[in-house]
Amino acid sequence: MLPDGALDRLQEGCKAIATRCKVLGIDSWEVVATQSYGHQIDIEGGKISLAAGGGEGGFGIRVLENGKFGFAYLVDITSADKAIKSALSIAKMSPAVEGFVLPSEESAAPVAGLYDNSVVTLSSEDLLIQADAIMSEVASLDSRAVVTGGGIGVSANASAIYSSQGIDAAGITTSHSAGVQISIEENEQLTSSWQSSSSRSKLPDVPNCVARAVDWANLTRDPIKIESSSAESAVMMTSEGFSPLFSVVVPNAIKGEKLARGESFWSGNTGERVVADDLSIIDNATIPGGRSSGARDDEGVPTRKNTLIESGRLVGSLWSTRDAAQQIAEGRIASASSTGSAIRSGHQSPPISGCSNLFLTTKGKVYSYDDMIEIIDDGYIVNSVMGAHTANPTSGDFSVTTSSILRVENGEIIGAVKQAGLSGNLAKALKSGIKLGDDVRSQGSYSSGSMYLPNVLIEHGLRVNPA
């Protein structure tokens, strides 16, 4: 899957582009490169529908002149001069940011667990075997269940960065992911559930997400009639149900730029309590095997563990180099510097501030799934939501729908609800009455980085309106 010498070629390309920058008289520059390779298997209607493979990548060039920066990208280094001149032209037309300079080289400690050779050696045939194993497992768990969508993918991703400030780094990461949409159709009733797993290392032949998907396709069958109500309810959101809302709202709220501009619901509250006293939020790009871990951020600054909320109080924020310089230059803050939190969507974009691996933790007691159901007493369990991307990251307000919801009465699940609306304000909901589960699962994100979240019981501030 990964061609020999792939990383060497990226580094050589970066240095060739850097040489052209020097020839063209540019003193401050940064070249990045990415190249990904992978295989994937798609499943549809209980059958393998597509087997594909390939790769993509290219180079990005950021130039800086008197606080002004420009960015351009290219695929073939033979077009380096054109891209460099384009970036320089953009820089000359851009407003200057006083004090903005590219980051200098600092030593960075390696992060373990980001590369697994057993992933690289997986072939399309190996993925076909895994797909068969997943479909067989589904049939054994429930003869009515069918994998109506999803698939398996593996990839190796090479990246490099080279700058005029002495940064010269490169590395390869791997990824193995699986996702399944399980449907059960019987007695003119169709229920389904989507679950997924992803890891830097090789997944088991049948990941845990498969059993969870079958379970929820079963749990949501035979819905009961619930009277419509807009009153506040206790709601336990599974990790899968909570992560879409959390990832839209919270990563934006703890960006330094958003806080400084007054565009976060936590703006002006540094040092004050913003969530429940026992809760903390930590962003950590250095955890071994983390989905968004790395020794350096996407502009070459060494990564670190950033404590953002500690025991309920807002104590930190996330910064990239330019965002920090810009907010100082515009007079919104007196000081700020990179927290090793620059991210890119690839070689085609310049870096911005963002999270890596975001953890929601508690210093209090954690609860099992069954314990949380008892605590709910009278409320709901939500396993997935639709429309989380419409949540307002500035206010925290959201209004979503769910068809994966269970009704709890007297501390027991009494049945599924066909569909319901769920609304509230996540910033307010996190301030009190929060209990966390004992099983933390890694989830994808609508915004940036990865979310490491348990099941979350929210006792105040959410309204459920059954259809």
> What pLDDT, in 10s, does the model give residues 189-215?
999 999 999 999 999 999 999 999 999
Among 154, 189, 219, the domain-final residue is 219
d(CA 234, CA 217): 23
Closest CA to 359 of 280, 444, 418, 465: 280
d(CA 375, CA 229): 21
The whole-number pLDDT of residue 86 equals 97
The structure's pTM equals 0.95
The whole-number pLDDT of residue 54 equals 85
Reported confidence tier of residue 434, pLDDT bands at 50, 70, 90: very high
d(CA 55, CA 227): 52
Residue 446 has pLDDT above 80, yes or no: no
Q: 46: left (phi > 0), else alpha (psi -120 to 50), else beta? A: left
434 and 459 co-located in one domain: yes
302 and 196 co-located in one domain: no
The whole-number pLDDT of residue 270 equals 96
The whole-number pLDDT of residue 467 equals 83
With tokens 């670190």, the residue in question is 304
Asked which of 135-144, 341-350, 446-455 is least confident by mean pLDDT, the reply is: 446-455
With tokens 């373990």, the residue in question is 112
326 and 418 co-located in one domain: yes
With tokens 């890119």, the residue in question is 344
On whether the CB atoms of residues 130 and 118 are closer than 8 A, the answer is no
> What pLDDT, in 10s, does the model give residues 413-433?
999 999 999 999 999 999 999
Whether 228 maps to a domain, the answer reads no
* Mean pLDDT score, 255-271: 97
Asked which of 116-130, 218-232, 273-287, 317-331 is least confident by mean pLDDT, the reply is: 218-232
d(CA 139, CA 330): 61
DSSP-derived 3-state class of residue 454: coil
321 and 346 co-located in one domain: yes
Above pLDDT 90, what percent of the chain? 94
Whether 209 maps to a domain, the answer reads yes
Cβ neighbours of residue 425 under 8 Å, at least 6 residues apart? 395, 396, 397, 398, 461
Among 194, 219, 244, the domain-final residue is 219
245 and 214 co-located in one domain: no
198 and 257 co-located in one domain: no
Closest CA to 121 of 206, 34, 39, 205: 39
User: Which DSSP helix (H) or strand (E) runs through 436?
Assistant: strand 434-436
Residue 383 has pLDDT above 90, yes or no: yes
The whole-number pLDDT of residue 123 equals 92
262 and 200 co-located in one domain: no
262 and 209 co-located in one domain: no
The whole-number pLDDT of residue 445 equals 81
d(CA 360, CA 452): 7
d(CA 227, CA 51): 47
> What pLDDT, in 10s, does the model give residues 145-201?
999 999 999 999 999 999 999 999 999 999 999 999 999 999 999 999 999 999 999
Residue 454 has pLDDT above 90, yes or no: yes
The whole-number pLDDT of residue 442 equals 94
Bridge partners, 313 (sequence order): 273, 310
Whether 224 maps to a domain, the answer reads no
Whether 1 maps to a domain, the answer reads no
Whether 28 maps to a domain, the answer reads yes
Q: How many domains is the chain built from?
A: 2
Q: Which amino acid is at 83?
A: A
358 and 405 co-located in one domain: yes
DSSP string, 286-339: TSTT-TT--SB-TTSPBP-EEEEEETTEE---B--HHHHHHHHHTTS-S-----
Residue 229 has pLDDT above 90, yes or no: no
Among 195, 219, 243, the domain-final residue is 219
> What pLDDT, in 10s, does the model give residues 390-404?
999 999 999 999 999
The whole-number pLDDT of residue 444 equals 86
Residue 231 has pLDDT above 80, yes or no: no
Whether 163 maps to a domain, the answer reads yes
Q: What is the mean pLDDT of the chain?
A: 95
Closest CA to 56 of 35, 28, 33, 78: 35
Asked which of 1-10, 31-40, 234-243 is least confident by mean pLDDT, the reply is: 1-10
Bridge partners, 146 (sequence order): 183
CB atoms within 10 A of CB 45: 11
> What pLDDT, in 10s, does the model give residues 292-337?
999 999 999 999 999 999 999 999 999 999 999 999 999 999 999 9
Q: For residue 300, what are the domain limits?
A: 234-466
Q: How far apart are the first and last CA of the chain?
A: 48
Whether 348 maps to a domain, the answer reads yes
Q: 86: left (phi > 0), else alpha (psi -120 to 50), else beta? A: alpha
162 and 268 co-located in one domain: no
The whole-number pLDDT of residue 1 equals 74
Q: Which amino acid is at 458?
A: I
d(CA 388, CA 67): 38
Whether 226 maps to a domain, the answer reads no
123 and 179 co-located in one domain: yes
Residue 17 has pLDDT above 90, yes or no: yes
DSSP-derived 3-state class of residue 215: helix
* Mean pLDDT score, 259-268: 96
CATH of the domain at 35: 3.30.2290.10
On whether the CB atoms of residues 82 and 76 are closer than 8 A, the answer is no
62 and 171 co-located in one domain: yes
DSSP-derived 3-state class of residue 375: helix
